[in-house]
Chain A
Amino acid sequence: GAGVSQSPRYKVAKRGQDVALRCDPISGHVSLFWYQQALGQGPEFLTYFQNEAQLDKSGLPSDRFFAERPEGSVSTLKIQRTQQEDSAVYLCASSFRWTGKGSNVLTFGAGSRLTVL
């Protein structure tokens, strides 16, 4: 597609529910990133993939967070047993280049806003 597409754009969940957030990167983009942006804050790194390999998940805040990209294209961020502190905008970004191979321009999606009641 023309850009990075994320769905749903808005999600309201009751505390304790599981949620799944989807990211469709730009076709052919090798690298895919997830960031979490709390209200009034800058985005914070969660995890990234090169193709289907999850190379860094050091930013995932707890074992309730899980990300996958099984075929190296679409990615899903899953949050189990949601808590109020999980309320944030979840941003996905993709890049054509392999990470570590010089200048790497990220294209961000518009984000999925999660509100946990």
Chain B
Amino acid sequence: GDSVTQMEGPVTLSEEAFLTINCTYTATGYPSLFWYVQYPGEGLQLLLKATKADDKGSNKGFEATYRKETTSFHLEKGSVQVSDSAVYFCALDATGANSKLTFGKGITLSVRP
């Protein structure tokens, strides 16, 4: 079945460090890929998405590129801020109908001042 694998966490970085969070997926067909973020005490929010191979999603300085050849969608940011501290989830939608997301386990990012 469809699945998403995220790197093990948690991750702790100093402010302005470079961030990479790995995400790989298994799915039939051509899924859409997403990164969601959950700030403390808040609901999940869509951070960025990509719907086809080689698409790059970007938002708030974060980027991820849909790599079909490596079935990956790694999240990157060049310079993290304390306000980026949150839990990050990689997800896919293989239905093509945007009706059912499959999430990874999530990874907690803590950024130190």
Q: In the complex the two chains form, what is the Cα distance from A48 to B4 in whole Å?
A: 21
- Identify which of A61-69, A75-83, A106-114 touches chain B: A106-114
* Chain B residue total in the interface (Cβ 8 A): 23
Q: Interface residues of A: mostly helix, strand, loop or mixed? A: loop
B103 contacts across to A, CB distance below 8 A: 42-44
Which residues from chain A contact B105 at a C-beta distance below 8 Å? 40-42
Interface size on A, residues (CB 8 A): 32
Chain B's interface: helix, strand, loop or mixed, by majority?
loop
CB of A56 within 8 Å of the partner chain = yes
Chain B residues with CB below 8 A from A103, complex form? 49, 51, 98
Query: B residues within 8 A CB of A97?
Result: 98
- Contact status A100-B98, CB under 8 Å: yes
Contacts of B104 in A (CB 8 A): 42
Contact B43 A45 (CB under 8 A): no
Write the nearest CB–CB distance from B29 to chain A, whole angstroms.
14
Max chain A Cβ within 10 angstroms of own Cβ: one of B41, B91, B99, B102: B99
Q: Which residues of B contact A107 (CB under 8 A)?
A: 43
Q: Which residues of A contact B (CB under 8 A)?
A: 3-4, 31, 33, 35, 40-45, 48, 55-56, 59, 91, 93, 95, 97, 99-111
